[in-house]
Amino acid sequence: MTPTTQEERERLKAMYDESARRYYLSLPIEETIDTLRQANSRKIVLSSFSMMKAKRPDVHCFNELLIEYPGTDGKPGRVVPSNFIVIHPEPIKANNSFDISQQPARPFLALEYVTELRRPEFHQNRDKYERELRIPYYLQVYPHDEKFTLFQLRGGHYAAVTPNAAGRYPVPELELEAALLDGWVRFWFRGELLALPGDLLRERNTERNARQAAEARAAAAEAEIARLREELAKAKGLSGQP
């Protein structure tokens, strides 16, 4: 239920802030550690959505942020996706948690990088996304197995999205597609692969090397022209030609 008065909104905010503080303090150390493949998957997502935001500023990507929402027992429900996406035309302000009751938009896509040790927890999270938060899309990535499943909420339940003609899995509302590339989940925006920092660096280096090579060829050509002109002038001088 959406709070209707300022006093109620402030009371709920204080309750959710305290709930978030207690949650973070309760986390065991293993909850805060990524494996290398998890970490790389996270980097790909954050980099890709950062590139995408230049053309879709209404798309906001959050990383390991606690989502709090009204629970069935009157206490805040809690879940922490690896990443989640919100669509909203204005900036989203969130500090210790993403409090559904205080935010102008709800999560649109949740992403998680599933590991063997914590699979039961991820299955519980899926139930929360599906039944309680009703998040329209859920991307479940298995980094160590080099596979993923994209789910869409249909009729109150998640159903696996099927690939399109390009072999990619679409999220039309985001103009986005996901697919495996070299063993990693990568993203295409408006049909174009979203580049990673390493890709951009290599592209820049390639362009720089090509430019330097072109400049060297131009300098060599100018030097050769100058040499030929000098030889021609000498030849004319020896022959007495004006």
- What letter represents residue 27's amino acid? L
Q: Counting Cβ atoms within 10 Å, is residue 177 exposed (0-12), middle (13-18) or buried (19+)?
A: buried
Query: pLDDT value at position 211?
Result: 64
pLDDT score at 11? 74
- Where residue 241 falls among pLDDT bands split at 50, 70, 90? low
pLDDT > 80? residue 154: yes
Instruction: Round to the nearest angstrom and report the end-to-end CA distance of the chain.
Output: 98
pLDDT of res. 139: 97
CB-based contacts of 161, cutoff 8 Å, min separation 6: 137, 150, 151, 152, 169, 170, 171
Q: State mean pLDDT over 126-153.
A: 95
Does residue 70 surpass a pLDDT of 50? yes
pLDDT of residue 157 exceeding 60: yes
Q: pLDDT at position 208, please?
A: 57
Q: Which residue would you say has higher pLDDT here, 37 or 120? A: 37
Q: What is the pTM of this model?
A: 0.71
In this predicted structure, the answer to whether residue 2 has a pLDDT above a threshold of 50 is yes
**Which of 70, 103, 64 lies closest to 84 in space, CA to CA?**
64
Average pLDDT over residues 170-198: 93
Q: What is the pLDDT of residues 77-122, one digit of tens each?
A: 999 999 999 999 999 999 889 999 899 999 999 999 987 666 567 7
